[in-house]
Chain A
Amino acid sequence: QQPVQSPQAVILREGEDAVINCSSSKALYSVHWYRQKHGEAPVFLMILLKGGEQKGHDKISASFNEKKQQSSLYLTASQLSYSGTYFCGTESRRVAAGNKLTFGGGTRVLVKP
């Protein structure tokens, strides 16, 4: 079952912050975040493997609440380059390395000058 992302779209001014949520009805083993620009392949941002884990790259960070079965991606002091569609991919259980991901519907982010 596909994880639910919210909001579906957000428009920001450069320098503003935004939060993207990813919720699953299943227990989660890991959450992966990707960003895709129009007509291009998704680009990996980060993986969260443990409940309570938080990670960051530049001014983009994420948290994983295992009990709530959800993850949040934080865009801080957004830059024009942050525009794109953000997808979360979830892994429900670990059978073996290389398990498939189920992707959410995506959140379109537009950062304006």
Chain B
Amino acid sequence: GAVVSQHPSWVICKSGTSVKIECRSLDFQATTMFWYRQFPKQSLMLMATSNEGSKATYEQGVEKDKFLINHASLTLSTLTVTSAHPEDSSFYICSAIPGWLAGGKDEQFFGPGTRLTVL
């Protein structure tokens, strides 16, 4: 099956610093990637849709200047949390949809997630 990796798997940073999280599709090209955040014992909340070669589409209430998304290639999307604060601490998960899937099946392959802790 398709594999999605994330790096780092966890990060602890000081308040005010910026953190970059990478999401890579290892064995397929992903035209679309999604970024989610998940608080403990809660659901996956979609933050933005990342499309290769174009600007990301952010969900309502998500600050685009704070959560910068760059989908530079068909295998890599990055999420940068700028000027992080303790309330940004969460589990960030990306998913990718292979470009080769046809028929509208659109299975999303999830990365293992990145746990961000802001002190």
Chain A positions within 8 Å of B, measured between CB atoms, are: 2, 30, 32, 34, 39-44, 47, 49, 87, 89, 91, 94, 97-106, 108
Contact = CB atoms under 8 A, between A and B. Distances in A.
Given A49-B104, A97-B104, A42 B43 contact: no
B49 interface: yes
A99 B106 contact: yes
The secondary-structure label for the interface of chain B is loop
Contacts, number: 59
B43 A104 contact: yes
Interface of B: 31-32, 34, 41-46, 49, 93, 97, 101, 104-113
Contacts of B43: 2, 87, 103-106
A43 B108 CA distance: 9
Nearest to A102: B46
A100 B113 contact: no
A98 B31 contact: yes
B48 to A, nearest CB: 9
A31 B100 CA distance: 20
A43 B110 contact: yes
A49 B105 contact: yes
Name the residue among A87, A100, A108 with the largest chain B CB count within 10 angstroms. Answer: A100
A44 B109 contact: yes
Nearest to A91: B106
A40 B112 contact: yes
Given A41-B113, A105-B43, A47 B93 contact: no
Contacts of A30: 104, 106
A90 to B, nearest CB: 12
